[in-house]
Chain A
Amino acid sequence: MRRVVVTGLGTINPLGNTVETSWNSLINSNSGISKINKFEVDDFPCKIAGSIDDSKINDDIVNSREQRKIDRFITLGLIAADEAIKDSGFVSENESSFRYGVMVGSGIGGLDTIYRNSSILDNKGIRKISPFFIPSSLINLLSGHISIKYNLKGPNSSPVTACATGTHAIGDSFTIIKNNKADLMVCGGAEAAICPLGISGFSAARALCDTFNENPENGSRPWDRDRSGFVMGEGAGVLVLEEYEHAKKRNAKIYGEVKGYGMSGDAFHITKPSEDGNGGFRAMEMALRESNLNAEEIEYVNAHGTSTQVGDMIELSAVEKLFELNSNLFMSSNKSAIGHLLGAAGAVEAVFSFKSLETKTLPPTLNLDNPSTNTSINLIPHEAISKSVSNIISNSFGFGGTNASIIIGD
């Protein structure tokens, strides 16, 4: 059976523009959440987000002229992809490039670009629409750009499953390599929806935190009594997945293995997760089955944990049910520090999960002052914990009742 390992990691997120800087910031309990200052938010119920300062965007990777022709989510994705591919030391040679693919998705894609061009159409007319409007905002163009830049001619696609996108991209890539359709996949997710239309849309759906505008760093607080919705973040996470023998042959550094992947649908509601947590439960169970591990062998859950009233408790109860025999289970939410990166969330959280394996450190859940329920699971409040773990499950659940879980291990 073909095994799938991870040989490269890359990210840009509200805590930093590399894996190393953002991971160190995460385990030191820093928050990447701040007041939105790029546009006027006086009328917005939510005025906070996990934004990336423009000065952190490396023009050497994507020059400013190129940036004008692509939406911000593509720029962020290209930056994370560049780090991951360089980290892997992999160079695609022509004779085998069809064995190397790309699957980097986005939840929403070029929302701000669509908004701006829509305004141009209304105010200035059709002749002022840029020829780059469509290619700069289409979600799969990120995978397209990565394939062109790094000569990757294998499978090329982009999942679009809202907040589960990043995890689906990794899981689908894992499946592609396992089924011998590729030897290497550059995969993950990117998102840049902190724009007037993005914030107002999620506000209208009553999904965003609106009670911590004066204390942005305290806004994202999964499982805490005072949570009031998620805080939006932006960024990208990209991983290089590779067939084990292929990686070994080129002496690549191996971070760990992808062992199992599960997915499911709630068939319940357009924005709410099913109340019994059955969808998330089945995704985790399917991943566990493929991994051939026992539930007791999972030591840490990198949770979806978005800081919404309903979602947090549903995930917790599903985890409690599946891992009821694990007496020493740890679980935390990276979103407490970086916010919810929507389609990039699962990918950035997978990057951090591989860092947990490597550095034997489990990141904290910030702002968990008063857990709203009792649980035997250690939710790692406030500060990171030094602990060596062998197997981690990472969850992502999205609007539309789409659920994805991956199991990674050493």
Chain B
Amino acid sequence: MSDIEERVKKIVVEHLGVEEAKIQSDSKFIDDLGADSLDTVELVMAFEEEFGCEIPDDAAEKIVTLKDAVTYLTANSN
């Protein structure tokens, strides 16, 4: 597991209150991990904070799984 993936996973565990073992890289935040739409907004804010970047709204809308987040942050974080 990459460093980025590990950090993303930690944020998801903290914000959604799910067990780490239950998170697969293609788990959908809303459908599989019990998040609601406001939770996903907060998740994206937490990613921004952790990785020191700004995720524009159109990009944020496409981040629906752990894998999406890792892919985006790998390409865009400082």
Contact = CB atoms under 8 A, between A and B. Distances in A.
B38 A127 contact: no
Interface in A125-145: 127-128, 130-132, 135
Interface residues of A, number: 8
Interface string B40-59: 01100100100000100000
Contacts of A128: 45
A37 interface: no
A63 B17 contact: yes
Nearest to B54: A127
A38 interface: no
B42 A131 contact: yes
Contacts of A63: 17
Contact of A135 (B15, B38, B54): B38
Contacts, number: 16
Interface string A57-88: 00000010100000000000000000000000
Given A127-B48, A127-B54, A132 B17 contact: no
Nearest to B37: A131
Contacts of A131: 38, 41-42, 45
A128 B44 CA distance: 11
A188 B41 CA distance: 32
Nearest to B15: A65
Contacts of B17: 63, 65
A132 B48 contact: no
Contacts of B38: 131-132, 135
A138 to B, nearest CB: 13
Interface of A: 63, 65, 127-128, 130-132, 135
Interface of B: 15, 17, 38, 41-42, 45, 48, 54
Given A63-B17, A130-B45, 14 more contacts: A65-B15, A65-B17, A127-B45, A127-B48, A127-B54, A128-B45, A130-B42, A131-B38, A131-B41, A131-B42, A131-B45, A132-B38, A132-B42, A135-B38
4 A-B pairs closest in CB distance? A131-B41, A65-B17, A131-B38, A131-B42
